[in-house]
């Protein structure tokens, strides 16, 4: 039994786990929907819960009965307007957030099998997501390699 906070005791999602979790677009879409709308899809335009799914998912997978607008899990996010599948976005966000200094667009290009131009665009959008003014530290936080404090006086 170990009691220290060493690196070997951390729990998180490994690269293999991330690839398996987001192996298909449907699984990635289900995860994004669960994260964005825990109590079910809501219209990002009017916040209505009166949502239905068109049978052929055209032009988008969801449509609001109140305002009649179509939307997807990407609507209103940094992924909006991107033709990249949600599975590539999920793994790209994972790669970017698990490296200390981020990831270059060339690494995203190689690892995700997308063009360098798309990888560059994705990297900028992911950085934009982290730069938004959102409340910091909403839950437990871990800080490594930092000493805070001094001599109690």
pLDDT in tens, 98-125: 888 888 999 999 999 999 999 999 999 9
pLDDT in tens, 44-68: 999 999 999 988 888 889 999 999 9
The reply to whether the predicted model has a pTM over 0.85 is no
pLDDT in tens, 32-46: 999 999 998 999 999
Convert the chain into a string of H (helix), E (strand) and C (coil): CCCCCCHHHCCCCCHHHHHHHCCCHHHHHHHHHHHHCCCCCCCCCCCCCCEECCCCCCCCCEEECCCCCEECCCCCCCCCCCCCCHHHHHHHHHHHHHCCCCCCHHHHHHHHCCCHHHHHHHHHHHHHHHHCCCCCCCCCCCCCCCCCCCCCC
In the chain, where the domains are located: 13-131
């Amino acid at each position: 039994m170990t009691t220290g906070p060493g690196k070997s005791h951390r729990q998180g999602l490994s690269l293999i786990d991330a690839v398996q979790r987001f192996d298909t677009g449907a699984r990635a879409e289900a995860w994004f929907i669960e994260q964005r709308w825990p109590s079910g899809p809501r219209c990002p335009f009017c916040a209505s819960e009166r949502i239905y799914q068109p049978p052929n998912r055209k032009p988008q997978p969801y449509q609001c009965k109140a305002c009649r607008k179509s939307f997807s899990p990407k609507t209103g996010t940094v992924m909006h307007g991107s033709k990249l599948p949600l599975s590539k976005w999920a793994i790209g966000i994972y790669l970017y957030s698990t490296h200390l200094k981020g990831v270059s667009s060339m690494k995203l290009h190689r690892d995700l099998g997308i063009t360098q131009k798309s990888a560059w665009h994705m990297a900028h959008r992911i950085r934009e997501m982290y730069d938004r003014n959102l409340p910091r530290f909403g839950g437990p936080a871990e800080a490594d390699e930092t000493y805070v404090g001094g001599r109690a006086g």
